Amino acid sequence: MQDDVWGPLFIFGVAILIVILFSSFKGLNLGFRLWGLPPLGKKNRETLKKYCRFYNELPANERANFEKRIQYFIKKKTFIPRSIPQVTPEMKILIGATAIQLTYGYPNVYLTHFKRILIYPDNYYSTINKVYHQGEVNPLNKIIVISWNNFVRGMINNDDGVNLGLHEMAHALRLENIIRNNEFNFIDKKVLDHWEYLAGQEILKLRNGQESIFRGYGATSAEEFFAVAIENFFERPDQFKSYDTTLYHTLAQLLKQ
Ligand SMILES: [Zn+2]
């Protein structure tokens, strides 16, 4: 073989190797994503310690990974202030932490479809449905909308089963699972079917006015029940477990947590 063939051949080989690494090995792929992200910083870590129960309850050796995943999430999203002067680092960290808390069992899921996160100061008037909202997830516009006051209230009162951030992220998670992209169809179908069956029974209970630990809003639809159940899963795990062990463990399986 002539000398001048080796150069292009080498470049070709390296290119193939890069393609393999980035497309085939998800673990490595993840490693590449998180590799090289700057440290979270003392102030941001203090924010997490102050507001994020999940972070405080994580084993010490998993916290660095959690922090990296938050940073990657923040890097991939565009945060847009609405009726507030700017989006603060604290807002980004806590919204990111909420997303990563929910997707913790899925290290490759970053709710990719939802590219933009809009932040309002408080309840906002939706020109689409002509009502006031605390938050919403809009797959057509690829946005997650959060009202900051309600979001913070949910994080501070972390054991009442009401958490706006987790609620909206739960909607985003279910939608992400059915939107065809690189994060499509990650939830185990069998577990999801089992969940839907059990959730349907619980929704009936709520609609019939029977006693339940879930708030009545969960009876609105399967999507709303899922979001309400997620709030309880993280904020009141013991009550949830003793109320209905099977339902709790099915949700734990679904989240891989
Ligand atoms: Zn909802």
Cα Rg, the chain, nearest whole Å: 21
C-alpha 220, offset from chain centre: 22
Residue 29 has a pLDDT of: 54
C-alpha 45 – ligand 1 centre gap (Å): 29
Residue 7 has a pLDDT of: 80
- Domains within the chain, CATH numbers bracketed: 26-186 (1.10.472.150), 187-257 (no CATH)
Q: CA-CA distance, 100 to 245, in Å (whole number)?
A: 24
Show the CA angle centred on residue 175, arms to residues 170 and 177, nearest 5°: 100
C-alpha 27 – ligand 1 centre gap (Å): 32
Residue 2 has a pLDDT of: 59
Q: Identify any residues that bridge with 146 across adjacent strands, giving them in sequence order.
A: 119, 135
List the chain pLDDT tens, one digit each, 257 residues: 556 777 878 887 777 676 555 554 544 555 677 888 888 899 999 999 999 999 999 999 999 999 999 999 999 999 999 999 999 999 999 999 999 999 999 999 999 999 999 999 999 998 777 889 999 999 999 999 999 999 999 999 999 999 999 999 999 999 999 999 999 999 999 999 999 999 999 999 999 999 999 999 999 999 999 999 999 999 999 999 999 999 999 999 999 99
Helix axes 89-102, 164-178, angle to 10 degrees: 60
Q: Which strand (E) or helix (H) includes residue 132? A: strand 131-133
Q: CA-CA distance, 250 to 247, in Å (whole number)?
A: 5
C-alpha 92 – ligand 1 centre gap (Å): 21
Residue 164 has a pLDDT of: 98
C-alpha 123 – ligand 1 centre gap (Å): 14
Residue 3 has a pLDDT of: 62
Q: CA-CA distance, 99 to 70, in Å (whole number)?
A: 8
C-alpha 61 – ligand 1 centre gap (Å): 34
End-to-end CA distance of the chain: 55
Read off the pLDDT of residues 63-73 as tens digits, 9 standing for 90 and up.
Answer: 999 999 999 99
C-alpha 138 – ligand 1 centre gap (Å): 11
C-alpha 150 – ligand 1 centre gap (Å): 13
Q: CA-CA distance, 168 to 163, in Å (whole number)?
A: 9
Residue 30 has a pLDDT of: 58
142: left (phi over 0), alpha (psi -120 to 50) or beta: left
Residue 126 has a pLDDT of: 81
C-alpha 213 – ligand 1 centre gap (Å): 17
Q: Identify any residues that bridge with 137 across adjacent strands, giving them in sequence order.
A: 144
C-alpha 183 – ligand 1 centre gap (Å): 22
**139 burial type by CB count under 10 A (0-12 exposed, 13-18 middle, 19+ buried):** middle
C-alpha 128 – ligand 1 centre gap (Å): 16
C-alpha 52 – ligand 1 centre gap (Å): 21
Q: CA-CA distance, 38 to 1, in Å (whole number)?
A: 45
Residue 37 has a pLDDT of: 85
| H helical segments located in 208-244 | 222-235, 237-243
C-alpha 54 – ligand 1 centre gap (Å): 21
C-alpha 145 – ligand 1 centre gap (Å): 11
Enter the tokens of residue 215. 């708030």
* CA dist list (Å): 14 to 20, 23, 25, 138, 166: 10, 14, 16, 41, 42
Q: Where are the beta strands (DSSP E) in 11-87?
A: 78-81
C-alpha 168 – ligand 1 centre gap (Å): 6
